[in-house]
A and B are shown apart, each in its own frame.
Chain A
């Protein structure tokens, strides 16, 4: 299952540029449904997921990918959390490209990560956090690689097939971190106008780079704002409308993960989720998928499982932390 060699399609900057040249770059309206937006994802695609760990994860989009029963996907994300576990347990991904995977210190090493990687069901290709960030940035810049001083000398070099380059000016050895051009970017933002001009509050993570590197960009937003609002604060726009293919209005679109300033991550939910896995093994995620993914038809039905009280409490906690 393990493939130590880079997939040339990931860093082929010429083909990636041709794909962007060939697609419409519309300044028109992008608003649509989750079903229609995610209908653009095909079996075997490389999906890059925005946010980081349990922060601003586009969970409504990930849930729809699962509901459409996509297969043989590659997932890339800088730090991978429960969304990666759900994609593994559903049999949707065969390869994960990441720097780290688990939920966080209090919940220990992910048993789902361990199960699917140790049995060989999923190949986990590990890059350093900065190297993966530079892979997206090289993609965003449309170049095949970026020089860097990281990842050299470690055994990570052999995992993803990182090559080195001699600096033509000083003669020093540099890491030539290859670009990553994903097929599809899944992104969740704080606000967008109907044309897909997107603004993010708080830490930006890698979303703006991922959106530029991908061929197809699917966005969910907490809030739809009037065009005038975008034009009043254009310096806040980090993804331009012409780069966005589909936009869906999904309040609490990251829950139970966090969205900066709007709602805090639900640690209690993580504890319930991991307790079920501790008690019943990886199969517990199958039950979770039935209850939270395949069962509730709409995202609002899904949010009802958490209840408005819990959502309001997490919103209050976020305001306290960012006020």
Chain B
């Protein structure tokens, strides 16, 4: 029996990516838990920025928000600048990291949360849409994708680029006018993926304990490159798990 589930693993590994003295754009669910965990554990001077126009909230354990635009997400915030201005802080360069998820992710880190099928106006499946994801992907200094690792999610080509990472690689992001940022890492339930510096194709950089690079490949719908050295992540510690679980006692997002 494992000591933690997939959501807990994701939240702990994602939290470790955050450094002190930075600002993070976090959506509700696992990303918000990860940011809250980092702030409590190793990054006390981290600031959370939330899409609903909220800066510096102190999320109340047991009353986790289900949307980025509600009182639970604004609990004891330090500023409520409004939605447009919250994103403009990111455009100005104040937001170091953006956490993102996605229905489909391709080998260049581009994300689709809009439509499945080839025709936007006649979709096979209509998904909720970008929300602020496109803006986070465009404007934060660095983006970290946090997602369960499933073959249907990791596709060769997304049906629709809702949120741009490296587009088709080879300087395409810069050429499109996206001067800043880009996806640096993809934290999954199997390991940590990054991007080969020149081609910007996704590569395996670390595996979680007990997971092989082969298992990651088998669960990915495109050919993955490999870093020169593949690390093994440290499993979540008791201390990390305890602190994380105290944030979500109802297990609304930890399952």
Binding site for B on A (CB under 8 A): 1-2, 4, 52-55, 78-79, 98-102, 104-106, 109-110, 113-114, 117-118, 120, 123-124, 126-131, 133-134, 136-137, 148-156, 158-159, 164, 172-175, 202-206, 209, 258, 260-261, 264-265, 267, 318, 321-322
Contact with A along B56-98 (1 / 0, CB 8 A): 0000100100110111101100001111100110010000000
Q: Which one of A4, A148, A153, A264 lies within 8 Å of B167 (CB-CB)?
A: A153
Which residues of chain A come closer than 8 Å to B63, judged between CB atoms?
321
The answer to whether A203 and B161 have CB atoms under 8 Å apart is: no
Contact with A along B131-174 (1 / 0, CB 8 A): 11111001100000000000000000000111110010000110
Residue from the set A109, A150, A260 with the largest chain B CB neighbour count within 10 Å: A150
Q: With A and B bound together, what is the CA distance between A115 and B139 in angstroms?
A: 33
The answer to whether A113 and B176 have CB atoms under 8 Å apart is: no
**Chain A's nearest CB lies how many Å from the CB of B255?**
12
B188 at the interface (CB under 8 A from A): no
Q: Which one of B28, B88, B125, B135 lies within 8 Å of A118 (CB-CB)?
A: B125
Q: How many residues of B contact A (CB 8 A)?
A: 58
Which residues of chain B come closer than 8 Å to A172, judged between CB atoms?
177, 179
Knowing A52-B83, A78-B83, A130-B132 are in contact, say whether A149-B138 is a contact too (CB < 8 A): yes
Chain B contact surface mostly: loop
The answer to whether A151 and B138 have CB atoms under 8 Å apart is: yes
B124 at the interface (CB under 8 A from A): yes
Which residues of chain A come closer than 8 Å to B133, judged between CB atoms?
128
Contact with A along B33-72 (1 / 0, CB 8 A): 0000000000000000001111000001001001101111
The answer to whether B28 and A153 have CB atoms under 8 Å apart is: no
B209 at the interface (CB under 8 A from A): no
Q: With A and B bound together, what is the CA distance between A158 and B118 in angstroms?
A: 14
**Chain A's nearest CB lies how many Å from the CB of B140?**
11
The answer to whether B126 and A117 have CB atoms under 8 Å apart is: yes
The answer to whether B53 and A128 have CB atoms under 8 Å apart is: no
**Chain A's nearest CB lies how many Å from the CB of B25?**
11
CB-nearest residue of chain B to A207: B82
B180 at the interface (CB under 8 A from A): yes
Q: Which one of B74, B83, B127 lies within 8 Å of A129 (CB-CB)?
A: B83
Q: With A and B bound together, what is the CA distance between A321 and B252 in angstroms?
A: 18
Q: Which one of A1, A129, A133, A321 lies within 8 Å of B72 (CB-CB)?
A: A321
Q: Which one of A4, A118, A128 lies within 8 Å of B132 (CB-CB)?
A: A128
Q: Which one of A4, A54, A133 lies within 8 Å of B121 (CB-CB)?
A: A4
